[in-house]
Amino acid sequence: SLIGFARAISCATELNPVRYNNNGCYCGWGGSGIPVDPIDHCCKIHDNCYADCEKLGCWPKLSPYSLTCLHSTHTPVCDNSENTKCNACCCNCDVAAAICFRDNEHHYQPGKATCK
């Protein structure tokens, strides 16, 4: 879900998740073209992951799920014992993207990564 994704990003990066919206070609609604930087590549992978969840009949942007933040390691973790199949699929996508953002934060250049 969008709320869960925001929580996962905040956990992993300790930053406001809005900073990634409209970065490059894939961060935000829709997406096309070639990712402009590693953060944008994280968003493309996330879009593809959501598409896989949709193939299972899920609505990733609306599927709420249970998530825990391990604050000591800045790691969001899906509580998949409590999540349905769809919720787990969406949570796994969101957590993977949040960790990707964290691991590539040093590549983030606001205003420079715009899709062409």
Residues of each annotated binding site for Ca(2+): 26, 28, 30, 47
* Active-site annotation holds for 94: yes
Beta bridge partner(s), residue 51: none
> Residue written as tokens 């990733």?
60
* Active-site annotation holds for 71: no
Helices marked H in 31-107 — which ranges? 38-55, 85-104
> Residue written as tokens 């409209």?
22
Q: Exactly one of 46, 52, 74, 107 is catalytic; name it.
A: 46
> Residue 115, class by beta-carbon neighbours within 10 Å (0-12 exposed, 13-18 middle, 19+ buried)?
middle
The answer to whether residues 70 and 78 touch, using CB atoms and an 8 Å cutoff, is no
Q: Exactly one of 94, 103, 106, 107 is catalytic; name it.
A: 94
Phi, psi of 17 (to 5 degrees): -65, -20
Catalytically active residues are: 46, 94
